[in-house]
């Protein structure tokens, strides 16, 4: 009898309920990382490995950049490619514990099988047919899986360029097919190969391409540009408590700056692909953890201008003409206000992003019952896409939302005005799970209104998930 009672108690625990609801997902975003191995890449990789349950990791590929290449001297020296293997080995030491929290974490053996070395021998070198380039091409050409592949350039684009040249040379008849599958997220253009090779041969095929500059608020300049209230999540006290101390060997390997956040300029490239309910992968203009962007040509998206008279470059978007660098050291209050607004598409999410990092660090060392897990936002009779005419009242209902740890949940329905096309005033928000949206009478046919349901639990650390409802105004 006592064994039966023990079993029944186990079945009633939140951890068991969560495990029963969780299964290996085959609909996760497919991602390939290319990295030049700079210090901020190595910091980003630790977070990436802790977030790898959210993705199908198709590749981790060493590449070069204008900053680091094999044979570079001094600061330009290339970190030995084995750093990727070393981090995966540290991941292996916490893998069993991570699996207690989500069975979707890939095995260390799987990750090692996806680690390849690409074009690293020079700045922008894209002529050598490397293992890494071959691998990217193979993934993109694989006819057994037609789902999109998010290819990220944490360094230069040269290995990606070489992979696309392989496809051009060997399978020219399949270029449109590959373009339809390919998604690019570039952290600047850290060499010339996007302009010299990818742009003339692939851009006209409609490849969705984000080239980011606003990532810099998570890179080395964060102490200068983040709002004061956001810096708390990057400073030594917070980092020591939540990441660096007592969270296992992978987190202990994080390369901090006197105990504080160092830099993770490449992290937005994969934050963008986390399926957290914001639906930003549907359009770079919708905004999410990886920033918000505007279309500048074809299907290429860059950062929103900090002022109406700032114009995007005609060619390469990089360190030399970066708006981030132009704003880094401004002194006047007006320019500092401009800088704060420029980075807002990314920093507005940073408390939730950092708390997500902290929870994953906990998963390295804590059992399920001792750690916190994300709420699951569900809507009732509220479609994700709604058509409505001005004056109509729409019910927004998130009452079915649950939390795996049975935490108390706080709700916030808010109007993400920058993501939509409605030109009127900010619409009222609600702190209730159920809210009513009155479509403004001045909304025009074709306008979009984006309403975000933001749900945060009261666990430690507090975790946030979302659901976005897009209302399109009809005549």
Q: What is the reported pLDDT for 26?
A: 73
Bridge partners, residue 84, by sequence: none
Bridge partners, residue 440, by sequence: none
Structure tokens at 106: 């890939």
Does residue 1 have a pLDDT over 60?
A: no
CATH classification (class only), 23-302: alpha beta
* 374-473 CATH fold: Immunoglobulin-like (2.60.40)
Residue 34: enclosing H or E segment and its boundaries?
A: strand 30-35
What gap in Å lies between CA 138 and CA 163, rounded to an integer? 9
Q: What is the reported pLDDT for 201?
A: 98
Q: What is the reported pLDDT for 95?
A: 98
- CA torsion 168-170-174-178 (nearest 10°) is -60
Residues 419-425, mean pLDDT to the nearest whole number? 97
How confident is the model over 134-190, as pLDDT tens digits? 999 999 999 999 999 999 999 999 999 999 999 999 999 999 999 999 999 999 999
Q: What is the reported pLDDT for 18?
A: 46
Structure tokens at 285: 């203009």
Residues 64-75, mean pLDDT to the nearest whole number? 97
What gap in Å lies between CA 321 and CA 341, rounded to an integer? 19
Q: What is the DSSP letter of 68?
A: -
Q: What is the reported pLDDT for 137?
A: 98
What gap in Å lies between CA 115 and CA 111, rounded to an integer? 6
Q: What is the reported pLDDT for 21?
A: 46
Burial 377-412 (b: 16+ CB within 10 A, else e): bbbeebeeebebebeeebebbbeebebbbebebebb
**Contact criterion met (CB below 8 Å) for 449 and 420:** yes
Residues 231-252, mean pLDDT to the nearest whole number? 98
Q: What is the reported pLDDT for 27?
A: 84
The residue count of the chain comes to 475
How confident is the model over 87-121, as pLDDT tens digits? 999 999 999 999 999 999 999 999 999 999 999 99
- Listed by start position, the domains of the chain span 23-302, 374-473
Q: What is the reported pLDDT for 25?
A: 66
What gap in Å lies between CA 290 and CA 19, rounded to an integer? 29
Q: What is the reported pLDDT for 39?
A: 97
The per-residue pLDDT of the chain, averaged, comes to: 95
How confident is the model over 350-409, as pLDDT tens digits? 999 999 999 999 999 999 999 999 999 999 999 999 999 999 999 999 999 999 999 999
Residues 413-420, mean pLDDT to the nearest whole number? 98
What gap in Å lies between CA 334 and CA 331, rounded to an integer? 8
Shortest CA distance to 102 belongs to which of 244, 240, 274, 336? 274
Q: How confident is the model at residue 4 (pLDDT cuts 50, 70, 90)?
A: very low
Residues 299-308, mean pLDDT to the nearest whole number? 97
Dihedral class, residue 53 (left if φ above 0, else alpha if ψ from -120 to 50, else beta):
alpha
């Amino acid at each position: 009898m006592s064994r039966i009672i023990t079993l029944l108690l186990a079945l009633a625990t939140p951890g068991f309920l969560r495990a029963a609801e969780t299964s290996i997902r085959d609909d996760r975003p497919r991602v390939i990382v290319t990295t030049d191995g700079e210090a901020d890449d190595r910091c980003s990789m630790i977070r990436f490995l802790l977030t790898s349950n959210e993705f199908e990791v198709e590749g981790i590929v060493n590449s070069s950049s204008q900053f680091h290449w094999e044979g570079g001297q001094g600061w330009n020296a290339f970190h030995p490619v084995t750093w990727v293997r070393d981090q995966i080995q540290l991941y292996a030491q916490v893998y069993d514990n991570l699996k207690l929290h989500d069975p979707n974490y890939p095995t260390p053996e799987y990750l090692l099988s996806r680690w390849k070395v690409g074009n690293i021998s020079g700045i922008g070198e894209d002529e050598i047919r490397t293992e890494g380039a071959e691998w990217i091409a193979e993934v993109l050409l694989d006819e057994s899986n037609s789902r999109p592949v998010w290819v990220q350039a944490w360094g230069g684009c040269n290995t990606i360029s070489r992979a696309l040249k392989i496809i051009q040379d060997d399978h020219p008849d399949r270029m449109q097919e590959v373009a339809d599958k390919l998604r690019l997220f570039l952290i600047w253009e850290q060499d010339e190969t996007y302009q010299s090779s990818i742009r003339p041969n692939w851009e006209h095929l409609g490849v969705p391409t984000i080239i980011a500059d606003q990532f810099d608020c998570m890179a080395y300049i964060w102490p200068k540009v983040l709002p004061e209230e956001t810096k708390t999540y990057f400073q030594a006290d917070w980092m020591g408590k939540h990441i660096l101390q007592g969270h296992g060997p992978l987190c202990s390997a994080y390369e901090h700056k006197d105990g504080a956040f160092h830099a993770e300029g490449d992290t937005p490239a994969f934050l963008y692909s986390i399926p957290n309910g914001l639906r930003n992968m549907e359009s770079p203009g919708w905004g999410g953890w990886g920033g918000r962007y505007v279309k500048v040509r074809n299907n290429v998206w860059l950062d929103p201008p900090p002022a109406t008279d700032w114009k995007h470059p005609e060619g390469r978007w990089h360190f030399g003409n970066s708006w981030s660098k132009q704003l880094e050291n401004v002194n006047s209050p007006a320019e500092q206000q401009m800088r704060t607004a420029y980075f807002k598409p990314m920093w507005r999410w940073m408390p939730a992003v950092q708390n997500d990092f902290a929870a994953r660090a906990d998963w390295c060392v804590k059992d399920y019952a001792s750690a916190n897990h994300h709420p699951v936002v569900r809507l009732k009779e509220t479609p994700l896409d709604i058509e409505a005419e001005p004056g109509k009242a729409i019910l927004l209902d998130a009452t079915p939302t649950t939390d795996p740890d049975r935490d108390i949940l706080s709700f916030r329905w808010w109007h993400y005005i920058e993501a939509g096309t409605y030109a009127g005033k900010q619409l009222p928000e609600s702190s209730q799970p159920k809210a009513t949206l009155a479509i403004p009478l001045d909304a025009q046919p074709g306008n979009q209104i984006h309403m975000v349901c933001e749900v945060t639990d009261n666990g430690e650390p507090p975790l946030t998930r979302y659901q976005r409802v897009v209302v399109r105004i009809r005549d």
